[in-house]
Amino acid sequence: MMTDKGHLLPPLLRGRLIKRYKRFLADVELETGETVTAHCPNSGSMMGCAVPGSPVWISTSSNPKRKLKYTWELVQMPDTMIGINTLVPNKLVKQAVENGLIDELAGYDRVKAEVKVSDHTRLDLMLEKETGETCYVEIKNCTLVQEGVAMFPDAVTTRGQKHLDELERLVSQGHRGVIFYLIQRMDAVAFQPASMIDPVYGEKLANAAKNGVEIITRDTIIDTGSIRTNRSVPVRLDHGVKTQLASPGLQDKVRAMEILKYTNRT
């Protein structure tokens, strides 16, 4: 549910993550001792966010047509709560824009969602003024943070690369183009592209920024009741960390992803 207080979460059950598997499934041990399988609404690698044993919170659906009754919503890591539901960012950012909470996107008269911009591409938002000015916004969910730096993507994303190309094309036609990174955690002090995971995306983001595509970031305030947009974090477009991650364990995961040529549909 969306209100002026952000995205209100439904009543949640606390548990412990046993494992995440097949991308969209997660086994969770509830506080009652019961083990349930929950839907994982996140198609990314969830690097650093799916550690077995971590405290998690799941919601319950009463829809009898659903295959799985439970949905994984939050995970608690040592330094922060993380929102893992990728359906939240689009709704949360749209609501924040409509309520005038994103200064960089203020002053527009209409906000449309899921706008077709080419034969094979839709962007998340189109903002319009009565004067005819338009601003196109693509929203990305960011959950990977290393040493205080939020990074996107957490897996190779050809779809995300295409979104940058489309935004750059729209800017060249005189429109405003924005890539918006919503960081669903509270421990980031900066943002940069994860070029060590997807070097093509990192290069495309730097080129898009040079050619007029704007980058907006917001971290979030998260608790078991709601998720709210918070503050902007500085953007770094240098490629100084292109070849390594801080954690050796994460380096191993990146190498494995490269070997498997895992492509995310983010």
The CATH number given to 2-83 is: 2.40.50.580
CB contact set of 48 (below 8 Å; sequence gap of 6+): 77, 143, 144, 145, 146, 247, 250
pLDDT in tens, 118-153: 988 999 999 999 999 999 999 999 999 999 999 999
The CATH number given to 88-260 is: 3.40.1350.60
Q: Are 146 and 246 in contact (CB under 8 A)?
A: yes
**For residues 171 and 180, what is the distance between their CA atoms, to the nearest angstrom?**
15
Mean pLDDT of 89-102: 96
pLDDT tier for residue 5 given thresholds of 50, 70 and 90: confident
pLDDT in tens, 214-255: 999 999 999 999 999 999 999 999 744 443 344 444 444 443
Looking up tokens 């709601």 gives 226
Vertex 100 angle, CA 95 and 223, to 5°? 50
Mean pLDDT of 30-39: 98
DSSP string for residues in 140-202 = EEE-EEETTEEEE-SSB-HHHHHHHHHHHHHHHTT-EEEEEEEE-SS--SEEEE-TTT-HHHH
Least confident piece of the model among 101-110, 199-208, 251-260: 251-260
- Which residues belong to CATH 3.40.1350.60 in the chain? 88-260
Q: Which two tokens stand for residue 100?
A: 């005038």
pLDDT in tens, 171-184: 999 999 999 999 99
Q: Which two tokens stand for residue 41?
A: 């609404």
